[in-house]
Amino acid sequence: LSQLFRPLDLLGMVYRTIRQGVIDMGAMFDLIDTPSEVVDVANAPSLTVPNGHVRFENVRFGYDPGMPILKGIDLDIPAGKTLAVVGPSGAGKSTLARLLYRFYDLTGGRITVDGQDIAQVTQASLRSAIGIVPQDTVLFNDTIGYNIAYGREGAGRSEVEKAARGAAIAAFIERQPQGYDTRVGERGLKLSGGEKQRVAIARTLLKNPPVLILDEATSALDSRTEGEILDTLQAIERGRTTIVIAHRLSTVVHADEIVVLEAGQVVERGSHAALLRKDGLYAEMWNRQAQERAEEAVAAE
């Protein structure tokens, strides 16, 4: 009989996981392709997050055995602080986020949230404590109100509107003839990258998680949109432990700590000012991006 129930259990788990917001991250984590090799330990307790202190202790990981991607990463993000992760493409930045969400188990070391090893608690409780604003938000072919309410099951209209205001998208929605009932997606209203990101931010405000992962979009935003989004992001980071995976360094200046990842190792860490003084890889990346911004400004004139 238990053999009969196991698949049903699994189905229930998949359903619950999707309901809890994993699908938000389809774009970031390519859920469909992710092998479900992670299982809860027997009688795993739920994660409890009184503060939100996140630690990576000597974390080692490779997607393929014998091909290490992260080679002993130590990170310490005190409750409510912001850590920015920067570094060249392929350095392993997004992999860090996937591991915190426990899409994969580590090959060495451990990750803890408020002292609890994330491999020892239920995945459902871990994932309900973490909010993700992905690079590219997946919207459903439904109303914009539904797309925001998806952040938390049972959210009412007034909570949805409050979240939309917090994400600076309420005015845009109210301008639409059908307001929150406006359909989005293939046959509805097309949203820009910045607007979609704000929908993701509104969802996250509704979910109200103590730990936040922001995977910054790689695509260039115009500087006004970028400025508006920066303000909104700073509003949701307040009071939450935040990991920002950053491509544009202008967005990490305010972080409490910046780590520079290269080929799976932390090569530099410190504040923006300290890293500039160091004149290493971060300073080189900063100067290069500053030059690109200056060239764009000239080209725009």
- Do residues 149 and 204 lie in contact, with contact meaning Cβ atoms separated by under 8 Å? no
Rg (CA), the chain: 20
Distance CA 252, CA 216 (A): 10
Q: Which of 20, 51, 94, 112 binds ligand ATP (CB under 6 A)?
A: 94
User: Interface residues for ligand ATP in 120-139 (CB under 6 A)?
Assistant: none
Residue 140 lies near ligand ATP (rule: CB under 6 A): no
End-to-end CA, the chain = 73
Question: Rounded to the nearest 5°, which phi and psi values hold at 236?
Answer: -80, -20
Pairing of strands 82-86, 257-262: parallel
Nearer to ligand ATP, 3 or 89 (CB): 89
Among 53, 55, 93, 127, binds ligand ATP (CB under 6 A): 93
Beta carbon of residue 136, minimum distance to ligand ATP (angstroms, whole number): 12
Binding of residue 206 to ligand ATP (CB under 6 A): no
Which of 22, 59, 95, 130: binder of ligand ATP (CB under 6 A)? 95
Q: Specify which residues 83 forms β-bridges with.
A: 243, 257
- In the set 45, 90, 115, 239, which binds ligand ATP (CB under 6 A)? 90
> Using CB under 6 A, which of the segments 87-95, 144-152, 269-277, 292-300 binds ligand ATP?
87-95
What DSSP designation does 243 have? E
**What residues between 54 and 83 interact with ligand ATP by CB under 6 A?**
63, 69
Q: Which of 25, 49, 91, 236 binds ligand ATP (CB under 6 A)?
A: 91
Dist. CA 169–CA 196, nearest whole Å: 10
